[in-house]
């Protein structure tokens, strides 16, 4: 999720910034699978007309851009990513 508001931030540490949905109640970062699934659900619900395959590509692109996932590789992030055009279009729909 975009971290545009302070209340969207769940954790900020040396590994990066995490949204409130990526952090467990105990303050730890959720597993890659849980975050990935949540991201897919987010894009499918927040961007009208987004099918699961596109939501997965958008989530991969979004997660791989974060410093934490650049140093914590996981198989759930293997696969194709959204193109820059797909990502920009999805982000513009979120802003509406």
**pLDDT, average across residues 71-88:** 94
* 14 pLDDT more than 90: no
**pLDDT, average across residues 47-60:** 95
pTM of the entire predicted model: 0.87
**Separation of alpha carbons 9 and 22, rounded Å:** 9
Q: How far is CA 16 from the centre of its chain?
A: 13
Q: What is the 3-state secondary structure (H, E, C) of the chain?
A: CCCCCHHHEEEEECCEEEEHHHECCCCCECCHHHHHHHHHHHHHHHCCCCCHHHHHHHHHHHHHCCHHHHHCCCHHHCCCCCCHHHHHHHHHHHCC
Average pLDDT across the chain, whole number? 90
Q: Which domain holds residue 85?
A: 6-94
Number of domains in the chain: 1
Is residue 1 a part of any domain in this protein?
A: no
* Tokens describing residue 81: 């990513």
Is residue 90 a part of any domain in this protein?
A: yes
């Amino acid at each position: 999720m975009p971290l545009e508001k302070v209340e969207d931030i769940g954790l900020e540490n040396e590994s990066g910034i995490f949204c409130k949905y990526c952090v467990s109640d105990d303050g730890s970062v959720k597993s890659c699978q849980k975050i990935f699934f949540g991201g897919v659900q987010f894009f499918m619900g927040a961007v009208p007309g987004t099918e699961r395959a596109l939501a997965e590509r958008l989530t991969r692109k979004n997660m791989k851009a974060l410093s934490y996932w650049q140093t914590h590789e996981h198989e759930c992030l293997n696969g194709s990513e959204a193109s820059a055009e797909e990502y920009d279009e999805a982000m513009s729909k979120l802003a509406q």
